[in-house]
Amino acid sequence: MLDIVYSSQFKRDFKKAKKLPFEDLKQLFDVISVLEKNKTLDQKYKDHLLTGNWNQFRECHLKADWLLIYQIQNNELQLARLGSHSELF
């Protein structure tokens, strides 16, 4: 299993996300659990590499406009950001 590292920005994003319905948060925890085990996400999450300033990171779609930006490096799952396209880009 990978160690999970939360960026300070992710912590702020998650604090906002706690106001979302339980089902949305459960989906987030399920995705983090899969990533923590270093397994491949289901295709429905549209997991892909990012470009530009985020070129070392991956993004998955928890919902149509709710994204998780993360990176797996040095046996760590680094959770960077959580939010909508307009909030993140």
Residues with catalytic function: 85
Q: In whole angstroms, what is the distance from residue 47 CA to residue 59 CA?
A: 6
Helix ranges (H only) for 1-89 are 8-17, 22-36, 85-88
* 75 contacts: CB under 8 Å, gap ≥ 6: 2, 3
